[in-house]
Amino acid sequence: MVLLEVSNICKKFNSKLALDEVSFSLEEGRILCLLGPSGCGKTTLLRIIAGLEAPDKGKVVFDEIDIAAIPPHRRQFGMMFQEFALFPHKNVFENVAFGLERQRRTPQEITLLTSQTLDLVGLKGFGQRKINEISGGERQRVALARSLAARPRLLMLDEPLGALDRALRERLILDLRSILKKVGVTAIFVTHDQSEAFTISDFIAVIDRGRIEQIAAPETLYLRPKNQTVARFLGFNNFLEGIILEDGGVQTKIGVFYPDSGKGNKDDEVTLLLRPEAARLIDALTQPADNETIISGMVQERLFHGRNYHLSLKTETGLFLTFEVSNQTPPPQKGKPIRLAVGPAGMAVEPVSVKEQK
């Protein structure tokens, strides 16, 4: 069942367009992630849904009701803020109980629900702590508990892990997903970190310069980015221009590639995407397998990243490409020639729709 329906939202700040005709819908119980670089308008979109900003144009329909006229405190939404926005003058329990108190619940209910929620986020017995006495990770949990305690009909999370260090983020994101799924809450999650987005969401909406570029499940997004903007945002840098041949291959400057997911007709101009993990190292004598294409060039940079090597190479035609290759066979040193085989299977190559509109 569609719970939230956002249509044609526009918003200007000082005559600069922050959101441009944004539309999407969200089903009950799903987690949607708004992914985009900072300043792309994702937080603004969130604030419009929460009722903290008014859109210049467009509609937000929740549970089949247009909620434009409903002030934020009557929407029964939950929101987790970037810096958590915990009340410094209240302790953990009082923070979590705040929303329940606003609902005029009985003290027994408030105590019960608050401690239940604290248990849920793994903060049993933290109730009487002061906000400035707990660590960053604990604050994040308090903020989550506070936004969940009053059983919001929609939970919004605005870069909820942005204020934490990397190791903590990676641990908490998994907890976050399992808690959200346990509660079964419908949620919108805003982040600029693609790995966060992939971990937590059922759907990802990639936003750039105020527009939604693509909404898809994480796998689809990764395997079939709709255009270069999306692909670049996912961290892909190897783009090759080419033309589709009769046999389905793509003719590029550095050879013919055979993507397994090619769409399009003969003579279509396309942009080919080589994912960084798509290449394997081969020596000068080894012949490529069927459908594999050989790329040869000079090593420009060779960085050891533990699990793999980060290679950047310059092809004979002067193209710069970057790949991650397995650490099993060390690649040649900088300045030495290198041969890579790129296969079609799964993560090999990906035609990026029809050529980007210029």
Least gap, CB of 179 to another protein (angstroms): 18
Give 212's Cβ-side CA count (13 Å radius): 20
Count Cβ atoms below 10 Å from residue 320 Cβ, excluding itself.
13
72 binds another protein (CB under 8 A): yes
Does 55 engage in binding with another protein (CB under 8 A)? no
In the complex, what is the shortest distance from the CB of residue 101 to another protein, in angstroms, rounded to a whole number? Answer: 8
Q: How many CB atoms lie within 10 A of CB 14?
A: 5
Binding of another protein by 338 (CB under 8 A): no
Instruction: State which of residues 22, 34, 50, 157 lies at the interface with another protein (CB under 8 A).
Output: 50
- Note whether 241 and 330 are within 8 A (CB): no
Q: Considering the rule CB under 8 A, would residue 87 count as an interface residue with another protein? A: yes
Residue 147 makes contact with another protein by CB under 8 A: yes
State the nearest-atom distance from the C-beta of 131 to another protein, in Å: 11
**Candidate residues 30, 98, 198, 209; the one interacting with another protein per rule CB under 8 A:** 98
Residues 24, 205 contacting (CB under 8 angstroms): yes
Report whether 82 contacts 157 (CB < 8 A). Answer: no
Nearer to another protein, 84 or 258 (CB): 84
Query: Toward another protein, which CB reaches closer, 88 or 318?
Result: 88
CB of 166 to another protein, least distance (A): 22
Choosing from 14, 38, 88, 108, the residue that interacts with another protein (CB under 8 A) is 88
Q: Which residue in the set 8, 103, 261, 317 belongs to the binding site for another protein (CB under 8 A)?
A: 103
The answer to whether 74 contacts another protein (rule: CB under 8 A) is yes
Token representation of residue 276: 């960084």
Cα-to-chain-centroid distance, residue 208: 12
Helix axes 92-102, 107-120, angle to 10 degrees: 130
User: H or E element: which one contains 267?
Assistant: none
Q: In angstroms, rounded to a whole number, what is the distance separating the alpha carbons of residues 289 and 69? A: 63
Residue closer to another protein, measured from CB, 102 or 263: 102
Which of 26, 157 has the CB closer to another protein? 157
Instruction: Collect contacts of 107-113 with beta carbons under 8 A, ≥24 apart.
Output: 113/149
Q: By CB under 8 A, tell whether 180 contacts another protein.
A: no
**Of 82 and 199, which CB lies nearer to another protein in the complex structure?**
82
Q: Does 150 bind another protein (CB under 8 A)?
A: yes
Q: For residues 31 and 150, which CB has a smaller minimum distance to another protein in the complex?
A: 150
Stretch binding another protein (CB under 8 A), from 19-27, 60-68, 87-95, 326-334: 87-95
Q: Is 75 in the site for another protein (CB under 8 A)?
A: yes
| Inter-helix orientation angle 136-149/92-102, to 10° | 20
Measured from the CB atom, the residue of 24 and 98 that comes closer to another protein is 98
E strands, the chain, where? Answer: 2-13, 16-27, 31-35, 57-62, 65-66, 77-80, 154-158, 187-191, 203-208, 211-216, 238-244, 250-252, 255-257, 269-274, 279-281, 293-304, 308-315, 320-326, 337-342, 349-354
Beta carbon of residue 153, minimum distance to another protein (angstroms, whole number) = 12
* Site membership for another protein, residue 188 (CB under 8 A): no
- Interface ranges with another protein (CB under 8 A): 50-52, 71-79, 81-83, 85-89, 98-99, 102-103, 146-147, 150
